[in-house]
Amino acid sequence: MTAGVDTPDGRGRTGLDRTGLDLTGNPRVKVRDVTLLSSHWYVERSTTYDLQRSDGTWSTQQRETHDRGNGATMLLYDADRETVLLTRQFRYPVYVNGHPDGMLVETPGGLLDDEHEHPELAVRREVVEETGHTIGEVRHVFDVYMSPGSVTERVSFYAAEYGASTRTHEGGGLDEEGEDIEIVELPFRRALEMIRTGEIADAKTIMLLQWAALEGPFSGTRR
């Protein structure tokens, strides 16, 4: 008996070794076997599949995938004051991989509670928890696979206005999740400079800031 396969794992999941076996969208890919490597909070799998190459020949390949669920993130901006509201928190994975102190400046966001939760609902919840702002109308910007070579996660990107009237909670994250989040308000031009200096090194944040400069709320005011 294996947890996550035929008995529930710590999050009550079973059948985690079946993911991918029913895929039929690409006739050049035939999934042969899925092996569950671990299922703690996230799920690690090794998948063997046949891939038909462009010359018609077939090859058997094996890939490991990291499944942490899908996520959502949001750029909070004040168009009148030309500011953005970001967060700063400690991220161990970047700390252990060369970041000086692991304190990453980011747009607020997080994971969907489950595969059925709508990304907009998830990001609204995360924005309240992290920044204390209950925002109104939101704009869906795009959906992105952030690291498609090994990570299954798809992140939905949003943008919305914030201001004094949207501040409804304290923010700072959830104590029960070990979060200790600082709220950082920056002039938009300063945020762009921080990309160039490396002070902002988070991919989703860079993408949203550059979207805001190219075609978003600051596209006509960045110079």
91 shares a domain with 18? no
Q: Where is the domain boundary, 67, 86, 110?
A: 67
pLDDT in tens, 176-223: 666 789 999 999 999 999 999 999 999 999 999 999 999 999 997 644
More confident site: 99 or 179: 99
Residues contributing to the annotated binding site for Mg(2+): 126, 130, 179
206 shares a domain with 182? yes
211 shares a domain with 104? yes
Give the predicted TM-score (pTM) of the model.
0.93
117 shares a domain with 187? yes
CATH number at residue 110: 3.90.79.10
Residue 75 has pLDDT above 50, yes or no: yes
63 shares a domain with 78? no
Residues contributing to the annotated binding site: 126, 130, 179
Helix (H) or strand (E) holding 106: strand 103-106
Confidence of residue 147 (pLDDT cuts 50, 70, 90): very high
Query: Domain for residue 221, yes or no?
Result: no
Query: Domain for residue 182, yes or no?
Result: yes
Give the pLDDT of residue 11. Answer: 87
198 shares a domain with 117? yes
Average pLDDT over residues 1-14: 92
Q: Where is the domain boundary, 11, 42, 67?
A: 67
Query: Domain for residue 105, yes or no?
Result: yes
180 shares a domain with 105? yes
Query: Domain for residue 184, yes or no?
Result: yes
Query: Domain for residue 207, yes or no?
Result: yes
147 shares a domain with 51? no
Beta bridge partners of 138: 160
Give the pLDDT of residue 182. Answer: 95
Give the pLDDT of residue 169. Answer: 92
Give the pLDDT of residue 179. Answer: 74
d(CA 111, CA 73): 9
77 shares a domain with 55? no
Residue 108 has pLDDT above 90, yes or no: yes
Provide the residue range defining the domain that includes 205: 71-215
Query: Domain for residue 93, yes or no?
Result: yes
Total domain count for the chain? 2
d(CA 121, CA 32): 36
pLDDT in tens, 32-71: 999 999 998 899 999 999 999 999 999 999 999 999 999 9
User: Helix, strand or coil for residue 185?
Assistant: strand
Query: Domain for residue 112, yes or no?
Result: yes
d(CA 60, CA 48): 7
98 shares a domain with 7? no
d(CA 87, CA 73): 12
Q: Where is the domain boundary, 11, 43, 67?
A: 67
109 residue type, one letter = G
Query: Domain for residue 222, yes or no?
Result: no
Give the pLDDT of residue 173. Answer: 78
